[in-house]
Structure 1
Amino acid sequence: MSETRTGRALHAIRTRGARFARDAHGVAAIEFALIAPIMVLMLLGATFYFDATRDRARVERAAYVIADSVGRKQTVDTTFLDLMNSLALNVAKSNDTPEIRVTSVSRVSLLELKVDWSYPTGTFAALKSSDIPALGYPVSIPVGGSAIIAETRATYTPTFAMFGVSKRTHTGVSFARPRLVGMISKTN
């Protein structure tokens, strides 16, 4: 009798074990629990990358729009350049207030560039002639010609600060040649 009970018990264990091995209930939940954190991290990473790339492109676009707008003028004044600062704020749409520096540069000789005027905002300093070589900008101006250099800068703060990613500064630089005059002058 004892062997029969043992035999039945072993048979029941084998049957239940086999049934448990074949049972697929809960497999999807376990797979989801394993995959979901990875998918969420991928989504957050893609969101961060898209947001940072979009912010950088907007800051660069603001520099282009400012250089193009100034290049279409014959003279500029502080009021117009303040307007360009507001334009940078609207174009960049950064989560930080963008700073601009608009500079008129002319070529005196083959080896010498001269700053005619410079308009900085925020922490930008006015550009000096001695600063131009250190910037490394590829300024291609014929002797006697001039160009506008528009620089924008904004600090990007990521929505999700993960994996040690913190604030970063996005910059944009654009060059434009004056369209209507040889050199754009600045009043007041």
Structure 2
Amino acid sequence: MAARRKSLFARLRDDPRGVSAVEFALLAPVMIAFYFGLAEFCQGYMAQKRMGHVSAVVADLVAQSDSIRSSQMTDMFRVGDLVMKPFSSTPLKQRASSLTRDTNGVVKVDWSQASGMAARNAGSTVVIPDGLIENGESVIMTEATYDYDSPVDYLMPSVTRFSQTYYLRPRTVDKVGYTN
């Protein structure tokens, strides 16, 4: 019996036909985990890029206007919601503000409207990048945040917050007006 067992083990050890199956069994879980991790990373990256595009699109729409009404801003925020498709727009928060640098070099909010977050108070000060506008000039600042929650929670088990701020000068006027 021991000789027969020895020959069975010796035959299995020397038989090359099962090597591929054993290698596949060892590598398959690693490759599958890598594939799903990469797919999840790509989904998060796409959500971040779309959220950044929302900020740019809303700024562009506001900057093309001479004056904005509250209802128009609501429509522009809805456009931002559409840009997020196929991702849910529920965690998307947007804000658009018109800023002007006064003669003392202080940047103040002319008007602000938001969707999902608080609007900035008119007259409050804001810090913007140096050299963006000179004294007396105006800029449209849009902000967007998106709380991305992965559908499989494999690599990103908690909510990841993406945010983007976009600046664009008014195109047709010195300062975009706002009416309620």
Partner of residue 119, structure 2 = 126
Partner of residue 98, structure 2 = 104
Please say which of residues 70-79 and 17-26 is displaced more in the overlay. Answer: 17-26
2:125 and 2:157 map into 1 onto residues whose CA distance is 31
Residue 110 of structure 1, CA deviation: 4.5
Higher helix share: 1
* Pairing 1:95–2:88 present: yes
TM-score, scaled relative to structure 1: 0.84
Q: SS at the partner of 1:100?
A: strand
Partner of residue 68, structure 2 = 76
Q: Per the alignment, do residues 116 and 17 of structure 1 end up closer, same or farther by CA in structure 2, a change over 3 Å counting? A: closer
Tell me the C-alpha RMSD between the 2 structures. 2.1
Please say which of residues 17-26 and 174-183 is displaced more in the overlay. Answer: 17-26
Q: Give the unaligned 5+ runs of structure 1.
A: 1-8
Q: Is the 8 A contact 2:106 2:125 kept in 1?
A: no
Amino acid of the residue matched to residue 63 of structure 1? S
Amino acid of the residue matched to residue 102 of structure 1? A
1:36 and 1:68 map into 2 onto residues whose CA distance is 48
Residue 84 of structure 1, CA deviation: 1.0
Q: Give the unaligned 5+ runs of structure 2.
A: none
Q: Per the alignment, do residues 99 and 16 of structure 1 end up closer, same or farther by CA in structure 2, a change over 3 Å counting? A: closer
Q: Is the 8 A contact 1:118 1:126 kept in 2?
A: yes
Residue 26 of structure 1, CA deviation: 2.6
Deviation string, structure 1 residues 132-151 (Cα, Å, up to 9, x no partner): 13xxx316111111000011
| Structure whose alpha-carbon radius of gyration is higher | 1
- Number of residue pairs aligned between Structure 1 and Structure 2: 176
Q: Per the alignment, do residues 152 and 17 of structure 1 end up closer, same or farther by CA in structure 2, a change over 3 Å counting? A: closer
Deviation string, structure 1 residues 32-61 (Cα, Å, up to 9, x no partner): 221111111101110111011100000000
Residue 105 of structure 1, CA deviation: 0.1
* Pairing 1:165–2:157 present: yes
Q: Is the 8 A contact 1:120 1:126 kept in 2?
A: yes
TM-score, scaled relative to structure 2: 0.88
Q: Is the 8 A contact 1:85 1:99 kept in 2?
A: no
* Pairing 1:49–2:41 present: yes
Partner of residue 187, structure 1 = 179
Q: SS at the partner of 1:132?
A: coil
